[in-house]
Amino acid sequence: MKLFGWFRRKGSPPGPSPPQAAGCLPPVSTRHLGAGLADLWGALDAIAREDGLAGKSAVEHYNQSAEGKKDVERWLQIYLRRVHPGGAEAYSMPSYCQRHRGFCLVPRLWPDGLRWAAIHEATLFRAPIPEEPDRERLIAALDRHLEA
């Protein structure tokens, strides 16, 4: 009695491979995939530099904390906007964040404490001002920056 039909006996030649189903994609070369991922991380690194990241790579920033992961996700959205302008999915900052003069005021919980950042809603880039420990100081710094 044959319980498991897919096992073959030792020493017997393998049977013919099943035909590829219609509509299936051929296997992707891992070499090509690895090169594509390296290019993507390189592009994210360049966007991170535009956003003000200095002293570490986007990968290191991603591994630093949950806030680093959120930054990399935001940079990926900037990258997708550049690659597919006017794409089907429009990314926006969370609705629960307070807005001020076109910027989204985002609380950031870093390992060394809470700081607030201002992120431009249209471009998704951070405002070129330092993060502040409270929202009121961030709004004041943002107003000074926008009026200068």
pLDDT tens per residue, range 66-84: 999 999 999 999 998 888 8
Amino acid at 46: A
pLDDT tens per residue, range 110-139: 989 999 999 999 999 999 999 999 999 999
Q: What whole-number distance in Å separates Cα of residue 72 and Cα of residue 111? A: 17
Contact 72, 80 (CB under 8 A): no
pLDDT tens per residue, range 3-25: 455 455 556 665 655 555 555 55
Q: What whole-number distance in Å separates Cα of residue 10 and Cα of residue 17? A: 18
56 pLDDT more than 90: yes
Q: What is the pTM of this model?
A: 0.74
Contact 69, 110 (CB under 8 A): no
Q: Which residue has the tokens 């900052």?
A: 93
Amino acid at 139: I
Contact 72, 61 (CB under 8 A): yes
